[in-house]
Structure 1
Amino acid sequence: MQKTVLIVEDEFLIAMDLKSILERQGWHVVGPVASVAAASRLLERELPSVALLDVNLGDELVTPLAERLSALGVPFAVASAYDRPELIGGAVLAEAPNVGKPTQEARLVIALARLLESR
Protein backbone atom coordinates (compact mmCIF):
# COMPACT_ATOMS: atom_id res chain seq x y z
CA MET A 1 0.00 0.00 0.00
CA GLN A 2 1.32 3.45 -0.90
CA LYS A 3 2.03 5.64 2.12
CA THR A 4 -0.02 8.79 1.55
CA VAL A 5 -0.81 11.27 4.29
CA LEU A 6 -3.06 14.30 4.30
CA ILE A 7 -1.64 17.03 6.54
CA VAL A 8 -4.09 19.59 7.92
CA GLU A 9 -2.24 22.26 9.87
CA ASP A 10 -2.85 26.01 9.90
CA GLU A 11 0.59 27.08 11.14
CA PHE A 12 2.75 27.31 8.02
CA LEU A 13 6.12 26.52 9.59
CA ILE A 14 4.77 23.54 11.48
CA ALA A 15 3.05 22.25 8.33
CA MET A 16 6.26 22.54 6.32
CA ASP A 17 8.24 20.78 9.05
CA LEU A 18 5.74 17.91 9.18
CA LYS A 19 5.82 17.63 5.40
CA SER A 20 9.60 17.54 5.34
CA ILE A 21 9.80 14.89 8.06
CA LEU A 22 7.28 12.64 6.35
CA GLU A 23 8.72 13.00 2.86
CA ARG A 24 12.15 12.03 4.22
CA GLN A 25 10.50 8.91 5.60
CA GLY A 26 9.06 7.97 2.20
CA TRP A 27 5.52 9.31 2.59
CA HIS A 28 3.66 11.02 -0.24
CA VAL A 29 2.17 14.14 1.35
CA VAL A 30 -1.21 15.46 0.28
CA GLY A 31 -1.31 19.13 1.18
CA PRO A 32 -0.58 20.49 3.64
CA VAL A 33 -3.74 22.55 3.93
CA ALA A 34 -4.90 24.95 6.61
CA SER A 35 -8.69 24.56 6.65
CA VAL A 36 -11.49 22.03 6.63
CA ALA A 37 -12.71 23.37 3.27
CA ALA A 38 -9.30 23.02 1.62
CA ALA A 39 -8.91 19.51 2.99
CA SER A 40 -12.38 18.55 1.75
CA ARG A 41 -11.48 19.74 -1.76
CA LEU A 42 -8.35 17.57 -1.70
CA LEU A 43 -10.37 14.55 -0.58
CA GLU A 44 -12.50 14.87 -3.68
CA ARG A 45 -9.38 14.36 -5.82
CA GLU A 46 -7.32 11.94 -3.74
CA LEU A 47 -8.07 9.68 -0.81
CA PRO A 48 -5.00 9.41 1.42
CA SER A 49 -3.97 6.30 3.34
CA VAL A 50 -3.99 8.26 6.61
CA ALA A 51 -4.30 11.85 7.83
CA LEU A 52 -2.59 14.06 10.38
CA LEU A 53 -4.84 16.73 11.85
CA ASP A 54 -4.37 19.83 13.95
CA VAL A 55 -7.37 20.28 16.25
CA ASN A 56 -7.68 24.08 16.01
CA LEU A 57 -7.51 25.55 12.52
CA GLY A 58 -7.65 29.28 13.04
CA ASP A 59 -11.26 29.99 13.94
CA GLU A 60 -12.57 26.49 13.22
CA LEU A 61 -12.20 23.01 14.63
CA VAL A 62 -11.11 20.02 12.55
CA THR A 63 -14.12 18.01 13.81
CA PRO A 64 -16.18 17.99 10.56
CA LEU A 65 -13.16 16.77 8.62
CA ALA A 66 -12.41 14.08 11.22
CA GLU A 67 -16.01 12.88 10.92
CA ARG A 68 -15.73 12.78 7.13
CA LEU A 69 -12.43 10.86 7.27
CA SER A 70 -14.02 8.36 9.66
CA ALA A 71 -16.96 7.88 7.30
CA LEU A 72 -14.50 7.31 4.43
CA GLY A 73 -12.51 4.79 6.45
CA VAL A 74 -9.36 6.93 6.55
CA PRO A 75 -7.60 6.61 9.92
CA PHE A 76 -6.06 9.74 11.37
CA ALA A 77 -3.83 11.01 14.13
CA VAL A 78 -3.90 14.43 15.73
CA ALA A 79 -0.96 16.72 16.39
CA SER A 80 -2.10 18.59 19.45
CA ALA A 81 -0.69 20.09 22.63
CA TYR A 82 -3.96 19.14 24.34
CA ASP A 83 -3.72 16.04 26.53
CA ARG A 84 -7.28 15.13 25.57
CA PRO A 85 -8.10 16.66 22.17
CA GLU A 86 -11.56 15.10 22.26
CA LEU A 87 -12.53 17.61 24.96
CA ILE A 88 -11.99 20.37 22.40
CA GLY A 89 -12.80 18.67 19.09
CA GLY A 90 -15.40 16.12 20.13
CA ALA A 91 -15.74 12.37 20.52
CA VAL A 92 -14.54 11.64 16.98
CA LEU A 93 -11.01 12.48 18.18
CA ALA A 94 -11.14 10.23 21.26
CA GLU A 95 -9.54 7.17 19.66
CA ALA A 96 -7.06 9.03 17.47
CA PRO A 97 -3.42 8.82 18.50
CA ASN A 98 -2.03 12.17 19.54
CA VAL A 99 1.55 12.74 18.36
CA GLY A 100 1.79 15.94 20.39
CA LYS A 101 2.83 19.43 19.53
CA PRO A 102 5.66 19.97 19.10
CA THR A 103 5.88 16.58 17.44
CA GLN A 104 8.85 14.26 17.82
CA GLU A 105 9.81 12.65 14.52
CA ALA A 106 9.97 9.09 15.84
CA ARG A 107 6.60 9.40 17.58
CA LEU A 108 5.00 10.80 14.41
CA VAL A 109 6.40 8.14 12.09
CA ILE A 110 5.46 5.29 14.43
CA ALA A 111 1.90 6.56 14.90
CA LEU A 112 1.28 6.94 11.17
CA ALA A 113 2.84 3.55 10.40
CA ARG A 114 0.50 1.93 12.91
CA LEU A 115 -2.49 3.68 11.34
CA LEU A 116 -1.38 2.44 7.93
CA GLU A 117 -1.14 -1.11 9.24
CA SER A 118 -4.65 -0.87 10.69
CA ARG A 119 -6.22 -0.26 7.27
Structure 2
Amino acid sequence: MSDTFPQRLPDDRVSVLVVEDEMIIALDVQMMLEDNGYRVLGPAGSVDGALRLLDELCPDVAVLDGNLRGRPIIPVARRLRSLEIPFVLSSAYDIFPFDGSEILEGAENIRKPVSEGRLLAALQRALS
Protein backbone atom coordinates (compact mmCIF):
# COMPACT_ATOMS: atom_id res chain seq x y z
CA MET A 1 0.00 0.00 0.00
CA SER A 2 1.25 3.44 -0.91
CA ASP A 3 1.98 6.08 1.73
CA THR A 4 0.02 8.67 -0.25
CA PHE A 5 -3.72 8.90 -0.67
CA PRO A 6 -4.90 7.91 -4.16
CA GLN A 7 -5.77 10.77 -6.47
CA ARG A 8 -9.16 11.60 -7.92
CA LEU A 9 -9.35 11.92 -11.68
CA PRO A 10 -9.48 15.47 -13.05
CA ASP A 11 -12.78 15.41 -14.93
CA ASP A 12 -16.46 15.52 -14.04
CA ARG A 13 -17.35 11.98 -15.07
CA VAL A 14 -18.07 9.40 -12.40
CA SER A 15 -15.16 6.94 -12.29
CA VAL A 16 -15.82 3.23 -11.82
CA LEU A 17 -13.22 0.65 -10.90
CA VAL A 18 -14.11 -2.61 -12.66
CA VAL A 19 -12.62 -5.77 -11.14
CA GLU A 20 -13.44 -8.88 -13.16
CA ASP A 21 -11.28 -11.85 -14.16
CA GLU A 22 -13.33 -12.91 -17.20
CA MET A 23 -12.09 -10.55 -19.92
CA ILE A 24 -15.23 -10.79 -22.09
CA ILE A 25 -17.42 -9.84 -19.12
CA ALA A 26 -14.99 -7.09 -18.09
CA LEU A 27 -15.01 -5.57 -21.56
CA ASP A 28 -18.81 -5.82 -21.74
CA VAL A 29 -19.17 -4.00 -18.40
CA GLN A 30 -16.60 -1.42 -19.51
CA MET A 31 -18.53 -0.76 -22.73
CA MET A 32 -21.85 -0.43 -20.87
CA LEU A 33 -20.32 2.09 -18.48
CA GLU A 34 -18.48 4.13 -21.12
CA ASP A 35 -21.58 4.22 -23.34
CA ASN A 36 -23.38 5.82 -20.39
CA GLY A 37 -20.75 8.47 -19.68
CA TYR A 38 -18.76 6.80 -16.92
CA ARG A 39 -14.97 6.72 -16.80
CA VAL A 40 -13.68 3.18 -16.29
CA LEU A 41 -10.59 2.36 -14.26
CA GLY A 42 -9.18 -1.00 -15.23
CA PRO A 43 -10.61 -3.43 -15.76
CA ALA A 44 -8.43 -5.22 -13.23
CA GLY A 45 -8.39 -8.99 -13.58
CA SER A 46 -6.83 -9.82 -10.23
CA VAL A 47 -6.89 -8.78 -6.59
CA ASP A 48 -3.30 -7.53 -6.84
CA GLY A 49 -4.07 -5.56 -10.00
CA ALA A 50 -7.06 -3.89 -8.35
CA LEU A 51 -5.03 -3.01 -5.25
CA ARG A 52 -2.29 -1.48 -7.42
CA LEU A 53 -4.88 0.70 -9.16
CA LEU A 54 -6.25 1.79 -5.79
CA ASP A 55 -2.75 2.82 -4.71
CA GLU A 56 -2.74 5.38 -7.52
CA LEU A 57 -6.32 6.39 -8.24
CA CYS A 58 -9.47 6.90 -6.23
CA PRO A 59 -12.64 5.85 -8.08
CA ASP A 60 -16.07 7.12 -7.16
CA VAL A 61 -17.51 3.59 -7.07
CA ALA A 62 -16.50 0.03 -7.97
CA VAL A 63 -17.97 -3.10 -9.54
CA LEU A 64 -16.42 -6.25 -8.07
CA ASP A 65 -16.54 -9.89 -9.05
CA GLY A 66 -16.65 -11.92 -5.83
CA ASN A 67 -14.01 -14.47 -6.76
CA LEU A 68 -11.03 -13.85 -9.03
CA ARG A 69 -9.49 -17.11 -10.23
CA GLY A 70 -10.07 -18.70 -6.83
CA ARG A 71 -9.01 -15.67 -4.80
CA PRO A 72 -11.77 -13.83 -2.90
CA ILE A 73 -12.28 -10.12 -3.52
CA ILE A 74 -12.06 -9.44 0.24
CA PRO A 75 -8.75 -7.44 0.21
CA VAL A 76 -10.14 -5.09 -2.45
CA ALA A 77 -13.43 -4.65 -0.59
CA ARG A 78 -11.49 -3.85 2.60
CA ARG A 79 -9.42 -1.21 0.80
CA LEU A 80 -12.53 0.33 -0.75
CA ARG A 81 -14.29 0.45 2.64
CA SER A 82 -11.21 2.07 4.22
CA LEU A 83 -11.29 4.73 1.48
CA GLU A 84 -15.07 5.11 1.89
CA ILE A 85 -15.67 4.13 -1.73
CA PRO A 86 -18.97 2.33 -2.34
CA PHE A 87 -19.08 -0.83 -4.41
CA VAL A 88 -21.49 -3.28 -5.95
CA LEU A 89 -20.87 -6.96 -6.56
CA SER A 90 -21.20 -8.71 -9.89
CA SER A 91 -21.22 -12.35 -8.96
CA ALA A 92 -23.09 -15.51 -9.88
CA TYR A 93 -23.04 -16.41 -6.17
CA ASP A 94 -25.27 -15.09 -3.39
CA ILE A 95 -23.18 -16.50 -0.55
CA PHE A 96 -19.48 -15.84 -0.07
CA PRO A 97 -18.02 -18.47 2.28
CA PHE A 98 -14.66 -16.71 2.63
CA ASP A 99 -12.98 -15.56 5.81
CA GLY A 100 -13.67 -11.86 6.09
CA SER A 101 -16.70 -11.93 3.79
CA GLU A 102 -18.65 -9.80 6.29
CA ILE A 103 -16.95 -6.83 4.58
CA LEU A 104 -19.29 -7.51 1.64
CA GLU A 105 -22.44 -7.12 3.73
CA GLY A 106 -24.70 -4.40 2.46
CA ALA A 107 -23.20 -4.40 -1.03
CA GLU A 108 -25.77 -5.03 -3.72
CA ASN A 109 -25.14 -8.02 -6.00
CA ILE A 110 -26.27 -7.32 -9.56
CA ARG A 111 -25.53 -10.96 -10.44
CA LYS A 112 -24.31 -12.41 -13.71
CA PRO A 113 -24.98 -12.15 -16.52
CA VAL A 114 -24.73 -8.39 -16.05
CA SER A 115 -27.57 -6.37 -17.51
CA GLU A 116 -27.04 -2.72 -18.32
CA GLY A 117 -30.19 -1.65 -16.48
CA ARG A 118 -29.30 -3.48 -13.26
CA LEU A 119 -25.71 -2.24 -13.41
CA LEU A 120 -26.61 1.43 -13.88
CA ALA A 121 -29.37 1.36 -11.27
CA ALA A 122 -27.11 -0.33 -8.70
CA LEU A 123 -24.34 2.20 -9.28
CA GLN A 124 -26.79 5.08 -8.78
CA ARG A 125 -27.99 3.54 -5.52
CA ALA A 126 -24.41 2.97 -4.35
CA LEU A 127 -23.50 6.58 -5.09
CA SER A 128 -26.54 8.06 -3.35
How far apart, CA to CA, are the structure 1 residues paired with 2:23 and 2:113? Answer: 14
How far apart, CA to CA, are the structure 2 residues paired with 1:91 and 1:54? Answer: 15
Q: TM-score, normalised on structure 2?
A: 0.85
Aligned to 2:3: none
Q: Judging by fraction of residues, say which structure has more helix.
A: 1
The reply to whether residue 94 of structure 1 matches residue 128 of structure 2 is: no
User: Where has structure 1 moved over 4 Å in runs of 4 or more?
Assistant: none
Aligned residues: 116
RMSD, aligned CA = 1.3
User: Is the 2:13–2:37 Cα contact (8 Å) retained in structure 1?
Assistant: no
How far apart, CA to CA, are the structure 2 residues paired with 1:26 and 1:60? Answer: 31
The structure number with the bigger radius of gyration is 2
Identity of aligned residues (%): 45
Query: Which consecutive residues of structure 1, in runs of 5 or more, have no partner in the other structure?
Result: none
Query: Which consecutive residues of structure 2, in runs of 5 or more, have no partner in the other structure?
Result: 1-11
User: Is the 1:84–1:94 Cα contact (8 Å) retained in structure 2?
Assistant: no
Q: TM-score, normalised on structure 1?
A: 0.92
SS of corresponding position for 2:40: strand
How far apart, CA to CA, are the structure 2 residues paired with 1:28 and 1:116? Answer: 14
User: Is the 1:2–1:49 Cα contact (8 Å) retained in structure 2?
Assistant: no
How far apart, CA to CA, are the structure 2 residues paired with 1:49 and 1:70? Answer: 12
